[in-house]
């Protein structure tokens, strides 16, 4: 039986399809190498503190970067240390005591958890306070007093970085 031109063309096309396809790995390796270098360069300089919707940080033009320390978040309703609620703000403001007992207890627990046998006991521990810009100074003073009495004397306040303008003093 004689094949039509269309049948011959289809048979020829099917013969070509049986050959294995060649994959060029050189271009894929180039792409992945560039991607790896890009990720390595851009991931090293970024430090992000966990931000919460209820905390609006005050603005500052300070250039000092944040360090990895204990994080105490203070909003209008509660004090949160490392993700755990420690105390409520109205209760803390209602007391006349300068130390917050529940915060001191949690700080002592965190210090014991992070301590190693070769740790220097006299070295100051660090803590970062991420407080809402509307937090009253009286509350902030109580928090810092409690942190200092628990051995956390290296206290940092988290702020939102804005570009500072340089002004020249006229003489």
β-bridge mates for residue 84, sequence order: 81
Question: How far lies 146's CA from each of 70, 138, 151, in Å?
Answer: 14, 12, 9
Concatenate the DSSP letters of all residues of 6-59 into one string: HHHHHHHHHHHHTSPPP--HHHHHHHHHHHHHHHHHHHSS-------TT--PPE
> Which among 118, 127, 119 is positioned nearest to 150, based on CA atoms?
127
pLDDT in tens, 94-140: 988 888 889 999 988 888 887 655 556 667 788 888 888 888 889 98
Residue 169 pLDDT grade (very low, low, confident, very high; cuts 50, 70, 90): very low
Output the pLDDT for position 145: 92
For the chain, domain boundaries: 5-43, 59-161
What does the alpha-carbon distance between residue 89 and residue 165 come to, in Å, rounded to a whole number?
Answer: 35
**Prediction pTM value:** 0.58
Q: What whole-number percentage of the chain has pLDDT above 70?
A: 70
What does the alpha-carbon distance between residue 121 and residue 98 come to, in Å, rounded to a whole number?
Answer: 24
In the numeric block, which tokens belong to residue 104? 């001191």
- The topology under which CATH files domain 59-161 is Nucleotidyltransferase; domain 5 (3.30.420)
Torsion of CA 151, 108, 125, 47, to 10 degrees: -140
Contacts with 140 (C-beta within 8 Å, 6 or more apart), sequence order:
74, 129, 131
Q: Using the structure block, give the residue that is written with the tokens 């007992």.
A: 101
């Amino acid at each position: 039986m004689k094949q039509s031109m269309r049948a011959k063309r289809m048979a020829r096309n099917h013969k070509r399809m049986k050959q294995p396809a060649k994959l060029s790995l050189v271009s894929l390796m180039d792409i992945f190498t560039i991607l790896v270098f890009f990720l390595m360069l851009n991931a090293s300089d970024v430090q992000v503190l966990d931000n919460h919707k209820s905390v609006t940080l005050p603005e500052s033009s300070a250039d000092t970067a944040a360090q990895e320390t204990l994080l105490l978040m203070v909003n209008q309703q509660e004090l949160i240390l490392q993700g755990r609620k420690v105390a409520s703000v109205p209760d803390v403001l209602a007391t006349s005591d300068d130390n917050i007992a529940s915060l001191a207890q949690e700080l002592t627990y965190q210090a014991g958890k992070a301590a190693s046998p070769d740790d220097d006991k006299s070295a100051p521990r660090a803590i970062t306070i991420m407080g809402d810009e509307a937090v009253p100074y009286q509350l902030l003073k109580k928090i810092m007093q409690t942190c200092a009495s628990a051995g956390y004397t290296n206290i940092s306040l988290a702020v939102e970085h804005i570009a500072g303008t340089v002004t020249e003093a006229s003489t």
